[in-house]
Copies of this chain bind each other. A is one copy, B any other.
């Protein structure tokens, strides 16, 4: 039984970890911390968990997280890197759902997150947690930088094209649409129902923090430098990301369907849909599956890829548990096989 600690479990990724781990036969949450809500019962804050957890939020300093086998950070950026050294020293492994261990270049981290990196040494050791790209490294990792929600969909969506060198990487476009939970569990006017419902808008066009993370990942797979226009939009749904990806094909004569099916053959959580499919976000709601469809728009030399995921599962907590399974030698799918919730 893997003993689990969760730091900062009052946000949506935290409660999603709790939901997923409640079903996991080989893991048990032993402590969950929240400075602000220490002393509150988990099931009081989240009545959906009544009967599933008897835990109480504890103050970080009382939680003795070092005794856990693995500690998930479902915190704002900057928290995990401050505690990583101590936890590793105590023998725990770390899966950070924030950005502290995603960008390999500390200078890039500083530029986008406006804070110095607290442990560049550990950053070098950290593994970027997309199993379909880094599976072997994840198995051995002590620290996982769990990817952002957009980066998971965009990288896995573009990857086969880029690995195969089939597209002009100077003109990549990721037109992405996210549900509102992606912005976190926050008291902000811009996230209010009366502001976001029955409304649709782009945001972060001038530079979203997920842009450098995506470009880093695509550059690793690409022979030529990647330039990406990344346009996130907010759509009035709770969960779900749909990424519409465009890339100019160097050579029109290529079987994209076969390329994708081959690249992701055997992947339990990547579903390359039949040719002509148009995946919708609800088809992955509350599940760890990422569905992909590849298209060729009529009268065009572009590849069009549509990828959908649940931003809180494959885009966050589910992928984190997938990484945990790998790190502890379990089958990757343990605790993650519940079908999506539809309708």
* Interface 0/1 of A238-256, CB less than 8 Å to B: 1110101010100000000
Q: What is the minimal beta-carbon distance from A212 to any residue of chain B, in angstroms? A: 10
Which residues of chain B are within 8 angstroms of A304 by Cβ–Cβ distance? 205, 229, 231
Label chain A's interface by main secondary structure.
loop
A181 surroundings in chain B (CB, below 8 A): 194, 343
A63 lies within 8 A of chain B by Cβ: no
- Contact mask for chain A residues 310-343; partner B; CB cutoff 8 A; 1 contact, 0 none: 0000000000000000000000000001111111
A339 touching B48, Cβ below 8 Å? yes
Residues of chain B contacted by A201 (CB below 8 angstroms) = 242, 278-281
Assess whether A198 is in contact with B200, with CB atoms less than 8 Å apart. no
A242 touches B198 (CB 8 A): no
Q: Verify if A117 is at the interface (C-beta below 8 Å from B).
A: no
Task: Determine which of B12, B47, B52, B242 lies in contact with A233 in the assembled complex, contact meaning CB atoms within 8 Å.
Answer: B242
Interface string of A267-303 (1 = CB under 8 A from B): 0100101001111111111110101000101111110
Interface size on A, residues (CB 8 A): 92
Q: How far is the CB of A52 from chain B (nearest CB, A)?
A: 5
A19, CB-defined interface residue at 8 Å: yes
Contact with B along A175-200 (1 / 0, CB 8 A): 10101110001111101111111111
Contacting residue for A197 out of B186, B188, B236, B283, CB 8 A: B236
Residue of B nearest to A310 (CB): B341
Q: Closest CB-CB distance, A266 to chain B, in whole Å? A: 12
Residues of chain B lying within 8 A (CB to CB) of residue A227: 299-301
Q: Which of B19, B239, B339 contacts A49 (CB 8 A)?
A: B339
In the complex, are the beta carbons of B239 and A343 less than 8 A apart?
yes
Let me know if A103 is at the binding interface, CB within 8 A: no
Say how far A289's CB is from chain B's closest CB, in angstroms: 7
Known: A51-B271, A192-B191. A339 touches B235 (CB 8 A): no
A-B contact pairs, 24 of them (CB 8 A): A18-B339, A46-B342, A47-B283, A47-B291, A51-B271, A177-B233, A181-B343, A185-B194, A187-B187, A187-B189, A193-B197, A197-B237, A198-B285, A199-B237, A199-B240, A199-B281, A200-B235, A200-B280, A201-B279, A229-B304, A231-B297, A235-B235, A236-B236, A341-B341
A19-B342, A236-B237 given. 18 additional CB < 8 A pairs?
A48-B285, A48-B340, A171-B248, A171-B301, A171-B302, A173-B173, A177-B233, A181-B194, A185-B343, A188-B192, A192-B192, A193-B196, A198-B238, A199-B280, A201-B242, A202-B306, A227-B301, A235-B236
